Structure 1
């Protein structure tokens, strides 16, 4: 982006937004985050349904084809167009994180099919704790003892959910934890590339890298889609586009750290869909364990907010 030269009188500085305007923008951002959480929960439910009838790799490949088309349209309308979105100083890392996210979606959908929505999300909710734990070795950030305690408490919550040693724990129960680890690594790599690349560049490579990987993996699983399932597939793709659009708009209105707690509302919606639509059971240990994991995640968010305020002085 280039600056326009001014030959006339200097422009007056823009007026600073007042407190009421800032609160209004943050209120809109919170509503958008909550709406995106509902849409992504619906997307998870549809993925669970279609994943029982078709190979998950095939369904996710179709999702990514729609997603990459959506991202290309966004990039084309952005300043500099698609060429600007393609320019990255970290091509290997960008491609890797795009592929990693696509594989994480495959693992998550497989967990939906094998374990259900509720059990999967109860464990997957630990990903903010994994980001905290891994931010030291990957990003070089200092991880204090309070954050390590929160991580330990969160993992205790996962054990409550999974109940190892009770005969319920199986190898399949590791799927949502693996997905959470992959998503946490994706989040950390996103923060890493943000030091050199803009948000639209990362968005472009997320879509392109993921679509390329899923085409290689899923094209061999191609099969006809039943006419009755076509509307659900279209809704699935539409949910992804609308959900990401709401996220983009929300982060334009407010800081990501201020919005993070509201993303946990997805767990509430997923639990409702799991019980009402799929006949899943919200076991007491799952509810208690999920509450522990979410509580630990909220504590780490609160600590990060305190550090940000202290850094700003």
Structure 2
């Protein structure tokens, strides 16, 4: 690895850390949003807000929102959008821990796709790092994450595979695109899917239960200012966090960057403790140490190969 590649890997790792801290904070307030609104209205509203911010910042920050390769941007945006919908949709009938564990199989799929579809060498260190990180994820989420295996349980893993493919597409399909172009495409895809969901649930309304349990099946509602405030916080945080993640995947190889994504779990747990007083079990704390070790293995390897 050349010094420039080494620096890019470490810079990408720093960007993932920013992403994890920002998203870990904002995602802790999804419970507040879900108590009142629905998944589809949330995605549609957040996308409108995110695009509003992008348009306001476009001129002063000289943002480039026009795609170089429209087809590639649309394909990548659709893949990531569907991945997130499957992820949130699975929450309707599976435990949160199991869904999250399925999504965090993404780094494994990144390695497999990078190796067998694009012929990228992955090396034993990155394979070991993914394995260590995934064991850490399972320990953090608890034994229930791997239980209740069924056809439905495959859905979060499918979300992880699509999420991995979208991350690879960032570098392989969209190398000339700006981070803000890909960010805009991501929110456009989720916004369109959100509007489609709102229309469907308006035409065929469901008896959604009260509170966060009815998040997925709830159609459009007359929401309060609290819903819109925290949705805007989500939009602003996602613009910063996801933008950092996109840039990280543009700077370094996807199979390296994907391992650092495991840090989102410790970041979310930290914010959960600070905001809600939630505590970790000793086993979960050990799992977080394994997650940190996985990222450290990649960072040290980058230095040794520099």
Q: TM-score range by the shorter chain?
A: 0.5 to 0.7
Say whether 1:142 aligns with 2:148: no
Q: Is contact 1:129–1:150 with CA below 8 Å preserved after alignment?
A: no
Number of residue pairs matched by the alignment: 273
**3-state SS of 2:121 partner:** coil
| Match among 52, 65, 90 for residue 69 of structure 1 | 52
* SS of residue paired to 2:36: coil
**Corresponding position: 1:87 with 2:68:** yes
Partners of 2:184 and 2:24 lie apart in 1 by: 24
Task: Name the CA distance, whole Å, in 2 between partners of 1:259 and 1:152.
Answer: 15
For the residue of structure 2 that corresponds to 1:223, the secondary structure is coil
SS in 1 for 2:30: helix
Alignment root-mean-square deviation, CA: 4.3
| Pair 1:255–1:93, CA change in 2 (3 A) | closer
Residue 78 of structure 2 is aligned with which of 99, 112, 118?
99
Matches within 5 A, 1:125-164: 125=104, 127-160=106-139, 161-163=141-143
Give the deviation of 1:287 after TM superposition: 3.6
Of 157, 182, 189, which aligns to 1:202?
Answer: 182
What residue number does 2:160 align with?
Answer: 180
In the TM superposition, residue 43 of structure 1 has moved relative to its aligned partner by 1.5
Q: Choose the corresponding residue for 1:229, options 208, 227, 231.
A: 227
Q: Tell whether 2:21 aligns with 1:42.
A: no
Q: Distance in 2 between matches of 1:187 and 1:62?
A: 24
Q: Distance in 2 between matches of 1:208 and 1:153?
A: 35
Q: Distance in 2 between matches of 1:123 and 1:80?
A: 35
1:268 partnered with 2:266: yes
Which of 16, 23, 39 pairs up with 1:56? 39
Bigger Cα Rg: 1
The offset of 1:200, in angstroms, is 4.4
**Offset of residue 94 of structure 1:** 1.9
Q: Is the 8 A contact 2:23 2:237 kept in 1?
A: yes
Aligned equivalents of 2:130, 2:19: Cα separation in 1: 26
Q: 1:277 to 1:134 in 2, by over 3 A?
A: same
**1:186 Cα deviation after fit:** 1.1
| Separation (CA, whole Å) in 2 of partners of 1:107 and 1:95 | 18
Is the alpha carbon distance of 1:158 and 1:176 closer, same or farther for their aligned partners in structure 2, counting shifts above 3 Å?
farther
Which string of whole-angstrom CA distances, capped at 9 and with x for unpartnered residues, describes residues 237-267 of structure 1?
232234456x38986xx96689988766543
Shift in CA distance, 110/283, structure 1 to aligned 2, threshold 3 Å: farther
SS of the equivalent of 2:43 reads: helix
In structure 2, the gaps of 5 or more residues are 1-6, 201-218
Q: Normalising to structure 2: TM-score of the pair?
A: 0.66
- Provide the C-alpha distance between the structure 2 equivalents of 1:282 and 1:219, rounded to a whole number of angstroms: 40
TM-score between both structures, scaled by the size of structure 1? 0.65
Q: CA deviation at 1:230?
A: 3.2
Question: Do 2:133 and 2:262's aligned partners in 1 also have CA atoms closer than 8 Å?
Answer: no
